[in-house]
Structure 1
Amino acid sequence: MSAEVWSTPTPAQWLAGARPRTLPAAVSPVLTGTGVAAYLGGFDAATALLALVVSLALQVGVNYANDYSDGIRGTDHARVGPLRLVGSGLAKPASVKAAAFVAFGVAAVAGLAIVVLTGHWWLLAVGVACVLAAWFYTGGTRPYGYLGLGEVFVFVFFGLVAVCGTTYVQLGRVPLPAVVASVGIGALACAILVANNLRDIVGDRVAGKRTLATRLGDPATRRLYVGLAGVAALCVGGVAVLTTPWALLGLAGFALLAPAIRGVVTGAVGPALIAVLKATGSAELAVAAALALGLVIGA
């Protein structure tokens, strides 16, 4: 794309490029991990807030990084879904790349503050791993997001690491309820990505982007989505068994997931899956908030 076709994005377009519909995947693990810490008497407002900043900044960073990397590869030129700044020609690739690294920088500063407050210096290595994983999802010469490993990244970093890490920086340990909760939240975060890749399956195949959805095919990807929802529900039940029956409040959030599951099962495609993506994000946030509330009440 020639330099003269680039325009200057408006603030609203920069916001759209950050893909706010994916932000529940960043907020949910922090709410959940904080709920577990509160149940066990370890709630700390300062570290919880800093953990939220880290998670949100990483999510925004990876969204801009994906926009940049997919845009320069041409993957986004025929994409259905949220605005892509580079693929649509609205922003120079270098500007979007810079925005990604600004977000990563914010995450690094907040993470360093957590390290200073807690004294757990080994967490610096975890922070570096998070940033590298975020960048190489679609960046570099062999991005693992193009090898069908995107769901692994989401499950590990926006499930296991985010939930257990949030609990750890407040409580000083990772109890079993945090691990079980992290599997459930990770499953719902994966469901967001599965819905996204299901929507883009045709365009990704044309562009040579080998996501898990393109590898599994349409029917199996739909079954995977439903299976992830089932795993998440089981994990909410597991947390309730390990802590308090009040944790079952988390199941209320699945009411928001019902329309999304219906859409996936009945064969929604293209733009119809944007509603599925939005509903999945909302459901993850609702499950996390209700679960955390139940844990606080149970405490």
Structure 2
Amino acid sequence: METYTSNIVESDKGWRIWWQLTRPHTLTAAFVPVLLGTALAVQYGDIDWLLFLAMLVASILIQAATNMFNEYYDFARGLDNEKSIGIGGAIVRNGVKPSTVKGLAFGLYGIAFLLGLYICANSSWWLAVIGLVCMAVGYFYTGGPVPIAYTPFGEIVAGFFMGIVIILISFYIQTGMVTSLSVIISIPIFILVGMILMANNIRDLDGDKENGRKTLAILIGRKSAINLLGAAFALSYVWVIGLVIAGSFTPWLLISLISIPKAVKAYKGFIGKTMPIQMMPAMKATAQTNTIFGFLLSIGLFISYI
């Protein structure tokens, strides 16, 4: 009986190790753009839900794989240890072989590639080029000789590919086109996805500086980075309000404003904090802001067009 109970505990622990390795709090950065791009496509006809699911799963797998590459390369460069905050910890805390983490990441890329073939076969093969570029960016975000995450351009690159590009692909595979409105509506998500990375870099600022990184948060300083985060939140909401006032979209999009308290919590959660563990709630609130904002924005679009 004791052996049986022990096996259950070990099995549960093993599942949690792999789940944490994906860094689940970041996966909504892949979910929200796909949902928003699909919601925008509703006005043009019926949704192909198999294409939607294929795009959704592929995006989440690429995001999870990117997190695993992050885990592997930060360990390989000696940046992570068992006391590091905000990591999956599979390697430094749970004894998973680095090669296993890297191999699993490439395995997820392989599945995403197969899903991409299905998407291309039912839309356009030009998307294969874009998809491969997205996968390359995911790898080189922390891999390669000059990782993107170690430069001041991490927020822009992440926001562009995980925000604008995924929204446009999700819209295109349903409609066969890209419109000016599909680009315009993607801007707030571009901003908020980038701010998830900014929040991460604010939390890790001291450690990143010691290890020679040149993130935007390091270059402008903690206080300015926090203020930039707050300004970016504000711009996202003002952008939506402006679209409604301009008549580009219906007032239903204003339900996204319900997420404002979460954005305020994220911004205030960084003020006066210097220890990474103290900033974890604020970082979590930043990711939740993107999730709630994007979900409500999508619901507003669905209501507007059905």
Listed as ranges, the gaps of 5+ residues in structure 2 are 1-10
The equivalent residue for 2:264 is 258
Q: CA deviation at 1:274?
A: 1.1
Alignment partner of 1:80 is 2:85: yes
CA distance in 2, matches of 1:104, 1:183: 27
Alignment partner of 1:15 is 2:19: yes
Asked if the contact 2:164/2:183 (under 8 Å) is kept, the reply is yes
Alignment partner of 1:160 is 2:133: no
Q: CA deviation at 1:107?
A: 1.4
% identical equivalent positions: 33
The equivalent residue for 2:209 is 205
The equivalent residue for 1:5 is none
Listed as ranges, the gaps of 5+ residues in structure 1 are 1-7
Q: Any idea what SS the aligned residue of 2:186 has?
A: helix
Asked if the contact 1:72/1:86 (under 8 Å) is kept, the reply is no
Moved more, 163-172 or 237-246: 237-246
Q: Any idea what SS the aligned residue of 1:81 has?
A: coil
Q: 1:237 to 1:111 in 2, by over 3 A?
A: farther
Q: CA deviation at 1:73?
A: 0.2
Instruction: Give the TM-score, by structure 2 length.
Output: 0.89
Alignment partner of 1:186 is 2:190: yes
Q: CA deviation at 1:109?
A: 1.2
RMSD (Å) for aligned C-alpha atoms: 1.8
Among 254, 276, 281, the residue aligned to 1:270: 276
CA distance in 1, matches of 2:176, 2:254: 25
The equivalent residue for 2:112 is 107
Q: CA deviation at 1:177?
A: 2.5
Asked if the contact 2:22/2:88 (under 8 Å) is kept, the reply is no
The equivalent residue for 1:27 is 31
Asked if the contact 2:71/2:88 (under 8 Å) is kept, the reply is no
Asked if the contact 1:32/1:163 (under 8 Å) is kept, the reply is yes
Among 121, 145, 153, the residue aligned to 1:116: 121
Alignment partner of 1:144 is 2:148: yes
Moved more, 146-155 or 197-206: 146-155
Q: CA deviation at 1:205?
A: 1.2
CA distance in 1, matches of 2:84, 2:227: 23
Structure index of larger Rg: 2
Q: 1:238 to 1:113 in 2, by over 3 A?
A: farther
Q: 1:264 to 1:223 in 2, by over 3 A?
A: same
The amino acid that maps onto 1:79 is S
